[in-house]
Amino acid sequence: MTAILLISIIFIAFISLILNSIKRIFTNHYSPSKANIILSVIVAAKNEEENIPALIDFLSNQSYSSNLFEVIIIDDNSSDGTFNKATSLTKGFDNFSVYKAIDKKFPGKKGALQFGIERAKNPSILITDADCLPEKKWIESFASKLDLGNDFAFGVATFIQNKKLVNKISCFENLRTHLLTFGSANLGLPYSATARSFGFRKDSFEKLSGYENTTETLSGDDDLLLREAVKHKMKIGIVADNDTFVYSETPKSFSDYLKQKARHTSTSIHYLFFHKLILSIWHLINLIMLFSPLLVFVNTKFLILFLVKLFGDIYLISSTKNYFNYKFNFLGIIFYQVIYEILLIVNFFNAIFRKVKWK
């Protein structure tokens, strides 16, 4: 009974910390300063001919003055018409440039991003993906956050929700991930971000030797760079203002989902030890509680763990889903939470045994 009580207390305490942290982020809205810093938006694109027009449209309609930012699109050896499409669509914009990644310093996406950053004219850098749709105040809010003295900053990257099962699973997982990453960062423990909405000062990036110390895995152009920033005690900011979200589609099939998660999970293996320890304890507690009904034949009190987790998860998700523009009903929360926990195990072994590729 003591173990059951201890696990329940730890779970409830963690849930309370994260919930309160998330509420503080979204209820204490940041008042954007009248920043006028100049920025460079870097986009690495590989076989994104279909998606690049929407991104260009959204970036060309930002609230931030076009005189204060440039957009650099790097075609990373695409086999489709990405380069020609991007070049054609940006001809009328003086602040857009399109390059082909040649002689990359690093393999994969990091090499393309490094290529773009080296050509950036401005002292502050923003990064997003070619299949993303940044809201109107995305650049403006990041400019304010970097202008306040942050070395790095990251924002909300929400998936567009539809009725397909793989989409709902991806969206729920994205929500759970955001709760952990934003909640922890607001508590002073930043450990993860997403390159779909990521920014930093170029001189801070150079102090870390760029991506030089993040080559353990092909992915990690966001998480591992943030890891290096944390190691060097740099200041990390959070962007969560209205109209600053970055939206994108989820994988269209479970095969694509597994490939994507293999990339992401392979990166988490290289987090700082303390972060891995905390995350391991948290996920282990959740798995113990989820599968505790299997021990009911030993002692019926084990069912307490499952019930505490069930109601804790429902309360946490119900209280926070709207902050990230997600919709899950009561039964959906229960179903997708179980799937989410099981897939944590699947994705862990998938990341170990699957060869990771940059598209």
**Both 52 and 152 in a single domain?**
yes
Q: Say if residue 244's pLDDT is above 60.
A: yes
Higher pLDDT, 29 or 101: 101
Mean pLDDT to the nearest integer, 331-352: 89
Q: How far is CA 293 from CA 103, 165, 302, in A?
A: 56, 26, 6
256 within some domain? no
Higher pLDDT, 153 or 30: 153
Q: Residue 122's pLDDT is what?
A: 97
**Both 38 and 17 in a single domain?**
no
Mean pLDDT to the nearest integer, 35-63: 95
67 within some domain? yes
**Both 347 and 241 in a single domain?**
no
Q: Residue 88's pLDDT is what?
A: 95
Q: Residue 4's pLDDT is what?
A: 86
108 within some domain? yes
Q: Residue 301's pLDDT is what?
A: 85
Q: For the purposes of burial, counting CB atoms within 10 Å of the CB of 104, is it exposed (0-12), middle (13-18) or buried (19 or more)?
A: middle
258 within some domain? no
**Both 228 and 292 in a single domain?**
no
312 torsion bin: left (phi>0), alpha (psi -120 to 50), beta (else): alpha
Q: Residue 357's pLDDT is what?
A: 66
pLDDT-derived band at 215, boundaries 50, 70, 90: confident
d(CA 335, CA 324): 19
Q: Say if residue 15's pLDDT is above 60.
A: yes
**Both 238 and 146 in a single domain?**
yes
The CATH number given to whatever domain includes residue 227 is 3.90.550.10
CA-closest candidate to residue 73, choices 34, 102, 107, 113: 113
CA-closest candidate to residue 140, choices 1, 243, 248, 235: 243
Q: If residue 312 lies in a helix (H) or strand (E), which one and from where to where? A: helix 303-320
Q: Residue 353's pLDDT is what?
A: 67
Could you tell me whether strands 246-248 and 157-159 are parallel, antiparallel, or unpaired per DSSP bridges?
parallel
* Count of H-run helices and E-run strands, the chain: 12, 10
Mean pLDDT to the nearest integer, 220-227: 90
**Both 242 and 305 in a single domain?**
no
327 within some domain? yes
**Both 202 and 335 in a single domain?**
no
359 within some domain? no
Mean pLDDT to the nearest integer, 315-329: 96
Token pair 């760079």 is found at: 225
259 within some domain? no
DSSP letter for 249, please.
Answer: P
279 within some domain? yes
Q: Say if residue 46's pLDDT is above 80.
A: yes
Beta strands in 101-164 (DSSP E): 124-129, 132-134, 152-155, 157-159
Q: How far is CA 206 from CA 54, 100, 201, 225, 335, in A?
A: 31, 22, 9, 11, 45
Pair 45, 9: CB distance under 8 Å:
no
Taking only the tens place, the pLDDT of each residue in 32-42 is 567 789 999 99
Q: Which of 222, 251, 280 is the last residue of a domain?
A: 251
Q: How many domains does the chain have?
A: 2
Taking only the tens place, the pLDDT of each residue in 88-99 is 999 989 999 999
- Average pLDDT over the chain, rounded to an integer: 92
**Both 15 and 75 in a single domain?**
no
**Both 232 and 301 in a single domain?**
no
Both tokens of 301, joined, read 């009190």
**Both 40 and 16 in a single domain?**
no
3-state helix/strand/coil string of 121-135 = CCCEEEEEECCEEEC
d(CA 325, CA 339): 21
Q: Residue 134's pLDDT is what?
A: 97
Q: Residue 237's pLDDT is what?
A: 95
**Both 63 and 171 in a single domain?**
yes
Q: Residue 262's pLDDT is what?
A: 80
Q: Which of 251, 285, 306 is the last residue of a domain?
A: 251
Q: Residue 356's pLDDT is what?
A: 60
Pair 121, 42: CB distance under 8 Å:
no
**∠ CA(330), CA(333), CA(339), 5° rounding?**
145
Domain span at 217: 30-251
Give CB contacts under 8 A, 24+ apart, made by 159-163: 159/247, 159/248, 159/249, 159/250, 160/247, 160/248, 160/249, 160/250, 161/326, 161/327
Q: What is the pTM of this model?
A: 0.92
Q: Residue 358's pLDDT is what?
A: 56
**Both 51 and 11 in a single domain?**
no
Token pair 């922890």 is found at: 184
